[in-house]
Amino acid sequence: MNARGSLALTAYAASITAANYLTTRYGMVPVGFGLTTTAGTFAAGAALLCRDVVQDALGRAWVLAGIATGAALTLVTSPALAAASAASFLVAECADMTVYTPLRSRGWAKAVIASNTVGAIVDTLLFLFLAGFPITASTVGGQLAGKLAWATLLPVAAVVAVRQVRRGHVSRHPVGA
């Protein structure tokens, strides 16, 4: 196992565990604009991004190991939430993989955004249902806003920007100079 893969796998399992802990501890929280979400949504969104890195660095089998590890660690705080989380992550991650894998050759950012969108929708609906949270426009909207806007689009934009700077594709001259 390489260092990048090991770090990604650790971050993946930790983000699943953190999402479940925060949800167990704080339940539903407001996120603005009349939307609510489970408190662990942002960590769950980070898990979607970490999953893609784990797959690239270590392969698909390690993604499943990360889900199992996150679920096992969640058993300590909430067995019911661990079961709901493991099931929804497993189904969502399989959906995510079916999108990410074929798109990966067309570019990392495109693959991540498309796969995380699919994964976030599946994870949101299944998790809310299995964990007994209400499935309303407010909760689904809040979950998706957290997972897609804050935990997918912002990190992807940051990675793309850093890559552009490293490759020298960003002008070093101020606008209008």
CATH of the domain at 160: 1.10.1760
Contacts of 22-27 spanning 24+ positions with Cβ under 8 A = 23/81, 23/131, 24/74, 24/77, 24/78, 24/81, 25/77
Count up the domains in the chain and report the number: 1
Is residue 119 within 8 Å of 48, Cβ to Cβ?
yes
Q: How wide is the angle at C-alpha 1 spanned by C-alphas 61 and 13, nearest 5°?
A: 55
User: What is the residue whose two structure tokens read 């850093």?
Assistant: 162
Looking at 12-21, 58-67, 88-97, 105-114, which range is the least confident one? Answer: 88-97
Q: Residue 173 falls within a domain, yes or no? A: no
What's the predicted TM-score (pTM) here? 0.79
How do strand 28-32 and strand 35-38 relate by DSSP bridges?
antiparallel
Q: Residue 174 falls within a domain, yes or no? A: no
Q: Residue 172 falls within a domain, yes or no? A: no
Q: Residue 59 falls within a domain, yes or no? A: yes
* Rounded-to-5 percentages of helix, strand, coil across the chain: 80, 5, 15
Q: Residue 177 falls within a domain, yes or no? A: no
pLDDT score at 169 = 64
Per-residue pLDDT tens digits for 32-48: 889 999 998 888 878 87
Q: Residue 175 falls within a domain, yes or no? A: no
Q: Can you give the residue range of the structural domain that contains 40? A: 3-167
